[in-house]
Amino acid sequence: MPTVVLMDVSLSMTRPVSLDGSEEFQRKNLAVHGLNMLFEHMASNYRLEFTALMAFSSLWELLVPFTRDYNALQEALSSLEDYDKTCVESALNGVSNVVQQEWGSACPCQVMLVTDGSLGIGKGSLRHSLQTLKQRGDDKKFPLPFPFPTKLYIMCIANAEELQMTDAMDNLEELLRLSGGDGQIFTMEGPLCMKSVQAMFGRLIDYAYSPFHAVLHCGNLSSDVQVFPRPEPIVVDEEVEPMPRTVNTDLEIVGFIEIADISSPPVISRHLVLPIAVNKEVDEVGTGATDELEEEPSASQMAGKSPNFCVLLHGSLKVEGMVALVQLGPEWYGMLYSQADSKKKSNLMMSLFEPGSEPLPWLGKISHLGPISEAAENPYGEDDSKSPFPVQPQVKRSYAQNVTVWIKASGLQTDVQKILRNARKLPDKTQTFYKELNRLRKAALAFGFWELLKGVADLLERECTLLPDSAHPDAAFQLSHAAQQLKLASTGDSQYAAFDHNIAPMHTEFSS
């Protein structure tokens, strides 16, 4: 999940702050100190994440494009210049342009706004932007919410009391709400000093940038791994009392399956899995994802290094063209697979499925899958000419049948007229008559359209009275029988209105 750091370099950030009663610093110096602390943490724990640095006042500037080189980010911080007034709206437009140009609109991104809480003055200020939200045309829309999934973190180089003396806090909260509400506002606690800014950025690190450590198990083999970005808790809406589900720190591989059988499944999120190894070289080769500033170690350099199960797993999946099904928690699964970034680099990735025992319908229940060795015969055939997937459901899916849908009155009228035409040709069309009658009956029961059943029963009784003297005697019996069954179904009584029940032709002395 890439990060954009949006640094306020307006004149208000140059306001002096007295430290320890002797040396004076600017608020900008405190912000730079906090960001340096964050970048050092990310360099140690989030080396494979991309980060960009932007500066803004009335205009915005991309100082460092998306990179993994945290030294370049820190060098850019040390050479910041001071500019004029604050214009947050212009800066947010810049963020939208930079992220979409680099990642498109599907990649989630974290945006970190570092400011002193000053809203700016006059036109272009945050206060003015929020007040004019409803008076804008389509060509001048406010940039929030961004067209891509976003988490907005507002880092205020000010304490809450200072922000609440004006309407700054209210406007920042409105800004967070417009972004989608996924994020947080951080303020400094106590006096403005180095210790307070360290504590504030420490809270941000704990909240958004704490690494996710887990143990990957496969039988008797295991490996300590780190997952990027940290998996977010998932809330299942279908549950009566939804509770957030979190990924376990013990990840259990339950089996392996061919890529062709897993196809392209729907997933909640994708994550990079890195082995935590004693030797740095093993870590890098294990995923093939090396820092862009360092050379990938050769095979000779790897000789004699500590073995790592995660490295073995990644290489095996890559060579065999398979994925590993991994259990993330109770009735929650995902998959591990090799993904190539380029011809030379590939990563071990983990995708999270929707919670549930049957996240991929064509595989059936994950708990019902088993090794090939336990099958009576190889389900893939002797020459891999067949596949046991997709698993055929016991009940035929509704979308595989001719479903009756009445969108317009003419469709319903056509179905009723079809029944009446067959009724007038009884007993020659007995089977077709009852087939159409049962189709209409099931649709009416599914929609709760009891009046239709009663109305068609009346029409059949009327047809019975209009039968000519030359009509076959069996026609009157069948029409009366069908009309009676429809009337019973129209009462809603479960004995007669069962959906799976079909009205059978009446057996008479005239029936063959």
String of DSSP letters for 89-106: HHHHHHHHHHHHHHH-SS
Mean pLDDT lowest among 147-156, 298-307, 421-430: 298-307
Four-point Cα dihedral 431, 435, 437, 440, nearest 10: -170
Is residue 419 very low, low, confident or very high in pLDDT (cuts 50, 70, 90)?
Answer: very high
Positive or negative torsion for Cα 221, 226, 229, 234: positive
The closest alpha carbon to 111, from 48, 49, 179, 65, belongs to: 179
* Model pLDDT for residues 280-291, shown as the tens digit of each residue: 333 333 443 333
SS3 category, 343? coil
String of DSSP letters for 406-430: -SSHHHHHHHHHHHHHHHTTTTTTH
Bridge-based pairing state of the strands 221-228 and 346-352: unpaired
Is residue 117 very low, low, confident or very high in pLDDT (cuts 50, 70, 90)?
Answer: confident
Residue 83 has pLDDT above 60, yes or no: yes
What CA–CA distance (Å, rounded) separates 353 from 90?
38
The pLDDT value given to residue 396? 65
Is residue 401 very low, low, confident or very high in pLDDT (cuts 50, 70, 90)?
Answer: low
Distances (CA, A) of 251 to 166, 172, 245, 336, 375: 49, 39, 14, 11, 26
Residue 250 has pLDDT above 80, yes or no: yes
Name, of 64-73, 259-268, 481-490, the range with top average pLDDT.
Answer: 64-73
Report the pLDDT averaged over residues 13-40: 84
Pairwise pLDDT comparison (388 vs 187), residue with the higher score: 187
SS3 category, 393? coil
The pLDDT value given to residue 93? 93
CB distance 63 to 4 below 8 Å: no
Pairwise pLDDT comparison (394 vs 214), residue with the higher score: 214
Residue 290 gets which letter from DSSP? -
Q: 261: how many CB neighbours lie within 10 A of its CB?
A: 16
Bond from prior residue into 330 cis (ω within 30 degrees of 0): no
Average pLDDT over all residues of the chain: 84
Report the pLDDT averaged over residues 261-272: 87
Pairwise pLDDT comparison (257 vs 307), residue with the higher score: 257
Where exactly are the structural domains of the chain?
3-209, 212-235+246-279+304-374, 409-497
* Model pLDDT for residues 228-237, shown as the tens digit of each residue: 888 888 887 7
The pLDDT value given to residue 135? 83
How far from chain centre, in Å, is Cα 477? 59
The pLDDT value given to residue 470? 85
What CA–CA distance (Å, rounded) separates 451 from 487?
10
Domain 3-209 has CATH 3.40.50.410: yes
CB distance 38 to 205 below 8 Å: yes
Domain 212-235+246-279+304-374 has CATH 2.40.290.10: yes
* Model pLDDT for residues 433-484, shown as the tens digit of each residue: 999 999 999 899 888 888 999 999 999 999 998 888 888 888 888 899 999 9
Report the pLDDT averaged over residues 292-310: 49
